[in-house]
Amino acid sequence: MRFRHLGRSGLKISEITYGNWLTHGSQVASETATRCVQAALDAGITTFDTADTYANTRAEEVLGQALAGQRRESLEIFTKVYFPTGPKGPNDTGLSRKHILESINGSLRRLGTDYVDLYQAHRYDYATPLEETMQAFADVVRSGKALYIGVSEWTPEQLRAGHALARDLGIQLISSQPQYSMVWRVIEEKVIPTCEDLGISQIVWSPVAQGVLTGKYHPGQAAPEGSRASDAKGGQQMISGLLGNEELLRRVQGLRPVAEELDLSMAQLAVAWVLQNRNVAAALIGASRPEQVAENVAASGVHIPAELMTRIDEVLGDEVVRDPQHTYDTSPKERLV
């Protein structure tokens, strides 16, 4: 396992980071989740990412139980706040001071830890003044409940404004967590240059495009049994749009010779691809079976030669989504209740 600095901070994280967005507390049983986490630890992963909204707080509980007994100082535990939790009342969502300060306490209790290494704004909150949000984050850091702060799916303008306020408040905003993969590159034109300027790293989610880049889905064929596309609890709705694009599925099959040339599986090629970007500190992987963890970890340290990076671009062609407007469209413009 290789490690990279997160932003300009001194914090190092495993470049393959274990995330439990669609698995713990929903798709897989707690016993299987624990075995997946143990497989991650055995493979050298030290960084774990979750959020209070995943399975409506259950994912944090499962992760906390799975990590119980591990040396806390040897782990980096990340979580997020913004989306509705609990009974989803008017103050059970967003980035208000009330919700942030109450949410961090709940997350720490569920995770079974005194602090998280990184506390992230899961989206931008248009309904709360940014000054209020950043002051609350600063108080969380000063109280010792979080070491650093980060954001997810913020626009370049929001990143600059948040970074400036964090600096003025004496805290470190060091990370951005966007979607990024061979076929979803909307952060490349604006978000990544902004982050490079500010000293912010990317922790990218869905590097295998919800599983499409594993090559298991073929145009004109039914989804394999046990795959995400066949599991209503495992993100079926998230992948449905991609599966409807038969040209994309056809082009993905064209990546097999590239993976074979590098002696990689298709999933390993996809994870290795995002790690070629110098602004990416980590690729988030999930798992419903322990063996999936071992497969993805093999992407750590892989170098893809420039000529093969070019060939990947040629194979995927116009099926790559690049429009930076998608980042602007990500955050709900009204408070979710």
Please say if 54 is a catalytic residue: yes
Strands of the chain (E only): list them.
3-5, 12-14, 16-19, 47-49, 76-81, 116-121, 146-151, 173-176, 201-204, 280-285
Strands 76-81 and 12-14: unpaired
CB half-sphere exposure, 118, CA atoms < 13 A: 32
Give the count of beta carbons closer than 10 Å to the beta carbon of residue 243: 19
Task: Name the active-site residue from 18, 54, 82, 148.
Answer: 54
Residue ranges of domains in the chain, CATH in brackets: 3-330 (3.20.20.100)
Rounded CA-CA distance 45/297 in Å is 8
pLDDT string in tens for the chain (337-residue length): 999 999 999 999 999 999 998 777 666 778 889 999 999 999 999 999 999 999 999 999 999 999 999 999 999 999 999 999 999 999 999 999 999 999 999 999 999 999 999 999 999 999 999 999 999 999 999 999 999 999 999 999 999 999 999 999 999 999 999 999 999 999 999 999 999 999 999 999 999 999 999 998 887 766 666 555 445 565 556 666 777 789 999 999 999 999 999 999 999 999 999 999 999 999 999 998 999 999 999 999 999 999 999 999 999 999 999 999 999 888 778 765 6
